[in-house]
Amino acid sequence: MVRQMMRVVVLAALCCAPLVAVQNTQDVFRSESDLVVLHVNVFNGRSDAVPELPQNAFSVFEDEQPQEITFFSGADVPVAVGLVLDNSSSMIARQGMLIAGGAAFARSSHENDELFTIHFNEHIQFGLPGGMLFTDRGTLLHAALSRYRPGGRTALYDAVIAGLNRLESASNQKRVLVVLSDGEDNASANSEDAMLERARASNTMVYTVSNANRHGDPGGGDAGLLRRLARVTGGMAYFPDSDQEVVEDLDRIAGNIRRGYLIGYVPSNAVHDGTYRRVKVLVRAPGKKDLRVQSRDGYRAHHHADAR
């Protein structure tokens, strides 16, 4: 009897596939196999995304054992993106950075993207009006950026978890959380470990953008936390020095999340024992040097009883 539900683990940096391909992958997800899906980005030595690589350029290893790639795609599809904006007192001097960065991302949105904002101090507030979960309108997202005045304490961990939870409701399979914050937290009900575990278990890639601890910045912040959050999801941490660099970094993020690869495989280790499986993706392409893979480092092989 075909199982009614299966555990799909979505890993690594977001990539792109045509809409029809996403519909096809959803058919694959309903199969009897436990398919692991990897979202992978490839960069050259200039940190530019490298598109149009063939399937045979990629190798996948789980716990150092080679895996057979059973699904591959690499084109453009809509994405679901949440902008998580630190609105606490520690970021008052950086409000220009938040507004400029968010506006840059809003301008780069595509048709059929699912977008939302979260503004947080010690409270978590969603920016879209009327209880709207998502919008595909860059103008509406832009209007949400300045709805709340800065002030108060900082509940970063709670805000990230709220963003990850909201993305679970998205229709688009490719999901990104962009966190603009200095990395401080002094008001969350959740711990850093709880946030990182939730991020690790998610099918979302997290990018962090901050000028925390750069060039003697007196505002402080926790750059290490922002790097850890990005790393466990296969994302990247950016530390711009100016509002203009924030705009450039957000433009770069918006482009890179659509220039990647979707790779699927059925693990050779079929045991559902709750252990964490380490995953590595390697890429080799003739004539292309200094290629770097951006990818989540693993997933947890949950017991079938845990699957939803």
pLDDT in tens, 8-45: 333 333 333 333 333 344 434 334 458 888 888 888 87
Check the CA dihedral 18-24-29-35 and report its sign: negative
Q: Which fold has domain 80-256?
A: Rossmann fold (3.40.50)
pLDDT in tens, 213-265: 554 454 567 899 999 999 888 888 999 887 778 878 888 888 788 777 889 99
Can you give the pLDDT at residue 220?
63
Q: Which two structure tokens, joined as six digits, stand for 47?
A: 């940190």
Per-residue DSSP letter, 110: -
Can you give the pLDDT at residue 219?
53
d(CA 135, CA 185) in angstroms, rounded, equals 28
DSSP letters, 234-264, are: T--EE--SSHHHHHHHHHHHHHHTTS-EEEE
- Give the burial class of 270: count Cβ atoms within 10 A of its Cβ; 0-12 exposed, 13-18 middle, 19 or more buried: exposed
Can you give the pLDDT at residue 163?
97
Domain boundaries, the chain: 9-75+261-306, 80-256
Can you give the pLDDT at residue 298?
86
Residue type for position 121: N
d(CA 293, CA 38) in angstroms, rounded, equals 12
Spans of the chain below 70 pLDDT: 1-33, 90-98, 211-220, 303-308
* 301: helix, strand or coil: coil
